[in-house]
Every structure is written in C-alpha cells, then in structure tokens.
Amino acid sequence: MLTAYHETMPQPGKLHSTLDQHGRFLRLGADVPALLVLPEPAARPAPLLIWMHGRTAEKTLDTGRFLRLFRAGIASCSLDLPGHGERYDEVGQKPESVLKIVEQMVGELDQVTEELAARPEIDETRIAIGGISAGGMVALARCCREHTYRAICVEATTGNLEYRASSIFADPERSRRLDPIRHLEHWRPIPLLALHNLLDEWVDVDGQRFFIEAVRERHEDPSEVEFHVYTKPTGAPYEHSGFGKFSADAKTRQVDFLSKTLGATS
C-alpha cells in the first residue's frame, strides 16, 4: 500500500489547474517516479493508460495529453524513464544510451503495473500501455512477452530497431534481445495505434511500417492495428515527436482509440 511518503499532490501552479487537483506524484515499483492522474470518482474504477516519454523529456512534459484523457474518463500514469526527470543523469540523455534505458524500463514495468492495478481507483482489466519515441520502444518490446495489457498506443517510434539504424542503436547484443520484430512469436494480438511522421529524421517510417505489417499478419482482425502517418511537414523538431501543428489531431486519435478499446465513459 502506498504511504503518504510515496504519494504527494502537485504544487499549485506546477501543472494545469485540473491536474493540480487530480494528479498525484508517486514512486512505484523499484522507485520509479510517476505522475498519476485520476478522473472524477463517478468514472471510477477507471481504465488506465501507462505512458512513457521520449529521450531528453520527462513525465510532466505533455500535460495536455493527460488532461484530454482525464476529460474522457481515462486515468493516466506517466513514468520517468531511467536517467530522466527525477532520476536525471547526463549519460541518460545521450543517444547511445537509448537501448540501455529501454531495457531497464522494460524490466521495471511489471511491478509498476501490478501496483497500479491494485489501486481501487483503477480497473485492472482495462489497462493500456504506450509511449513516444524511446517510450514507445519500451511499450512494444514489453508486449513481445506475456502481459495483461488491453491495448497499445505509440508515437514516433519503431518496433524494428535495426532497420536503417543510426549510431544510437550501435548495441547489437542488446538490440537482438529487445527488437520487437525479432520476437513476434510472443506477440498477443491486441488493438494497436501507431502514429508516425513520414518526414521523421530520427526514426525511419519504413522500419515501423514493416513492423506494423508483420503485426497485422498475426491479428485475426487486421483493422485492430491502426497506423496513421502524417505526410505533410508538422513543424516539430526534426519532424520527430509531438507532431507540431498536428498535435491536437494526434491526441484526439489517441483518446478516441482508448475510449473505444477500453470502454471509457466521460
């Protein structure tokens, strides 16, 4: 059970006023910093999205996402990746640390998920997982092992780590252990939403496209695997994450997907 030491309310003004009221800062599992946002009591026990940010970001960066989920009756728990946020270290910010970070976070997820599922405000049968960039790699890698998640939603990421890989993936042994497309024999078909930018300079869209096609082959209903690619410049840095002028559309797609797959009621 969480104690007062582990659970604190945000400082007034730190987040959007709604999140100040309904958010909680936690330490989960083996001391993983988290921001948990719970919908109004009438919407509980609520479905939950466990969300992971990308490299050089932190758990409170995208509060607009959590606000939209809150309004849809969906709880969210955003986690600091290793080396980021409250567990910042300079090495963790470097591109060559990505796979090490992904592997550590994959190993931390089970205990985090168990503790969240045990909370009375959360419906343990309706938990989704997702992330952006490095966080999305964590989600896809974790779902190539036995799990209980109901849905996956990822952005600006890949399940095909070695396709046209740059030096950030120059860790072949770890890559082979983690690369989702190498381990699809363990993939359990559940709804998946993947968003990407055609012009992404950091994560090649074709590698993700090949992964999505391989996943669809394992689904009895391929329409459960949604892949939306923004084909025009977004204005996001390196055309990579956040989707710039299409960010509102991306967030709407995610909320609609989760409302449908998790049965949320706002």
Alpha carbons 192 and 171: distance in angstroms, whole number: 27
Confidence of residue 6 (pLDDT cuts 50, 70, 90): low
* pLDDT value at residue 219: 93
pLDDT surpasses 50 at 210:
yes
Confidence of residue 18 (pLDDT cuts 50, 70, 90): confident
H-type alpha helices, the chain: 17-22, 63-71, 98-117, 134-142, 172-178, 205-216, 247-262
* pLDDT value at residue 60: 92
* pLDDT value at residue 168: 53
pLDDT surpasses 90 at 17:
no
* pLDDT value at residue 95: 86
Confidence of residue 3 (pLDDT cuts 50, 70, 90): very low
Alpha carbons 218 and 56: distance in angstroms, whole number: 34
What percent of the chain shows pLDDT beyond 70?
91
Alpha carbons 161 and 166: distance in angstroms, whole number: 10
Q: Give the pairing of strands 122-132 and 151-155.
A: parallel
The pLDDT tens digits for 119-167 are 999 999 999 999 999 999 999 999 999 999 999 999 999 999 988 766 4
Alpha carbons 221 and 162: distance in angstroms, whole number: 27
Averaged confidence pLDDT in the chain: 90
- Residue 40 makes CB contacts below 8 A (sequence gap 6+) with 22, 73
* pLDDT value at residue 170: 67
pLDDT surpasses 90 at 44:
no
Task: List, in sequence order, every beta strand (DSSP E) within 198-248.
Answer: 225-230
34: which strand partners? 26, 79
What percent of the chain shows pLDDT beyond 90?
77
Q: What is the dihedral of CA 85, 254, 123, 21, to 10 degrees?
A: 50
The pLDDT tens digits for 224-245 are 999 999 999 999 999 998 899 9
Length of the chain: 266
* Token pair for 170: 């120059």
Which structural domains are found in the chain, ordered by start? 17-262 (3.40.50.1820)
Q: Residue 59 CB: number of other CB atoms within 10 A?
A: 24
131: which strand partners? 52, 154
Q: Is the bond preceding 45 in cis, omega lying within 30 degrees of 0?
A: yes
pTM of the entire predicted model: 0.93
Confidence of residue 93 (pLDDT cuts 50, 70, 90): confident
